[in-house]
Amino acid sequence: MALRERPCAEAIFRQDKIWARSEGAMPDWCQGVKVVKTMKMIKVMILSLMATATFAAESVNETLDAAADGNVKISNVSGSIEVNGWSRSQVEVTGELGRDVEELIFKRDGDEVTIKVKLPRGSSRSSSAELVINVPEASSVQVNTVSADIDISDVQGEQRLESVSGEITTTVYGAEVDAASVSGDLEISGDNQTTKAKLHTVSGDIDVENLSGEISTESVSGSISTINGAFTRASGNTINGDIVFHVGLLDGGRMDFETINGTVDVDFGGDVSARIDIETFNGDIRNCFGPESVRTSKYAPGRELSFTEGGGSGRVTINTLNGNVRLCK
């Protein structure tokens, strides 16, 4: 919030009033402030819930005009966030704020709309907000939560989604997606357009369907599954999680999979042209096509499999410590 709006906002906050949107209803101690003059560019709404006010949940239903392809930044702690793209050039927020929510900030600054659920410092984790947010479909969206689930649909712009334990579900349409969580699962669907995806969790599972282009997936103990698509670059890394990639490798493309204890299951779903190098310390290697694996050395454990398939234009490497590897096409 710009510096000059602060005193006005704070005065309202202290007076325990909810500031209505229409300029006519603005309290007169704010008249001197520049907020009125800049209303066209910066619209600020603060729904403030003082501790002395009612403890019941508060409903939200507010709309702001917005750029057709701007950025929408959303931040929440617990509850849920649902974002839907629509054809209007407006951002609409509806939903409910829990009793401990201090404020919901909903503001526009040029091309950027911000929606932020603010809790008092040291508040209990059970203060939640359940919000449904409609955004212009060409928007790019950035969502950050702690435990709230994130559910996105029909958003065509870039998506940056981060949660600690909330589940993240979204569909992508050719724009980049970067999703990360600690324990929440990631569920990403595409419509087979080329895109770039970066999906990292600590223990959440990663499930991807119908994506193409470039993908990087990583988890410590979550499982990774990517099916239906074709990639120029694909990588999967885990310590314990199983890795499944049933996708095509495009000409000259590269796939790298590495896990310590998980299994790796790669199936190209058809012909492939690549140089393939697989190595495990304690795992088995099962190859559906081409040569069988061999012991790395006579006196030590370890198996490896290196061969060229098709024209050898791409490159596939798979390394595991204890996990089994299965390769098919």
Partner 1 sequence: MNENDDNTFDDELMARAAKLATEVKPDRDLWPAIEQAIGEPVRPNRSVWNSVWAQAAAVVLLVGGSSSITYMAVSDGGDPILPIAGTQTLVFEPVSGSFGSQYNLGPDYQDARRGLVAKVDDELENLAPETREDVVKNLDTIRQAINDINKALAEEPDNVLLQELLLDTYRYELSLMNKVDGITRAAMRRGDI
Partner 2 sequence: MPQVADIPHDESRWVRLAQAADARAFEKLYRAHVDKVYGLCLRMTGNPSEAEDCTQDAFIQAWSKLSRFRGDSAFGTWMHRVAVNTVLGRMRKSRREQDRIRAVSDVAPVQESIGDNAELRDLEQAINELPSGARHVFVLHAVYGYSHGETGDMLGIAEGTSKAQLSRARRLLVQQIETERS
By the criterion CB under 8 A, which residues form the site for partner 1?
1, 75, 77, 105, 118-121, 125, 144, 146-147, 164-165, 182-183, 202-203, 220-221, 237, 239-240, 258, 260-261, 279-281, 296, 300, 302, 319, 321-322
CA gap 186, 207 in Å, rounded: 6
How far apart (Å, rounded) are the C-alpha atoms in residues 226 and 28?
58
Closest by CA to 234, choosing from 314, 289, 323, 312, is 314
258 binds, among partner 1, partner 2, none (CB under 5 to 8 A by kind): partner 1
**Residue 126 DSSP one-character state:** T
Give the nearest distance from C-beta 79 to partner 2 in angstroms.
Answer: 7
Comparing CB distances to partner 1, the nearer of 159 and 235 is 235
Residue 320 makes contact with partner 2 by CB under 8 A:
no
Q: Least CB distance from residue 185 to partner 2, whole Å?
A: 7
Among 99, 196, 246, 329, binds partner 2 (CB under 8 A): 99
Question: Pick from partner 1, partner 2, none: which does 1 bind, CB < 5 to 8 A by kind?
Answer: partner 1
Of the CA atoms within 13 Å of residue 283, those in its CB half-sphere come to: 26
For every residue of 192-209, DSSP letters joined together read: S-EEEEEEEESSS-EEEE
CB within 8 A of 72, min separation 6: which ones? 66, 83, 91, 112, 113, 114, 115, 133, 135, 139, 140, 141, 142
Which option in partner 1, partner 2, none does residue 161 bind, with CB closer than 5 to 8 A by kind? Answer: none
From the list partner 1, partner 2, none, pick the one residue 34 interacts with, judged by a Cβ distance below 5 to 8 Å according to partner type.
none
Give the CA distances from residue 94 to residues 63, 106, 114, 248, 298, in Å, rounded to whole numbers and listed in that order.
9, 11, 14, 42, 67
Round to whole Å and give the CA distance between 105 and 115.
5
What minimum distance in Å lies between the beta carbon of 79 and partner 1? 14
Sites for partner 2 among residues 146-185 (CB under 8 A): 147, 149, 167, 169, 185
User: Least distance to partner 2 from the beta carbon of 104, Å?
Assistant: 13
- Interacting residues with partner 2 between 51 and 70 (CB under 8 A): 55-58
Of 105 and 244, the one with the shorter C-beta distance to partner 1 is 105
128 contributes a contact to partner 2 by CB under 8 A: yes
C-beta of 312: minimal distance to partner 1 in Å? 22
Residue 182 and residue 202 in contact, taking contact as beta carbons nearer than 8 Å: yes
CA-based nearest residue to 200, from 214, 220, 175, 217: 217
Query: Which residues in this chain contact partner 2 in the complex, by CB under 8 A?
Result: 55-58, 78-79, 96-99, 126-128, 130, 147, 149, 167, 169, 185
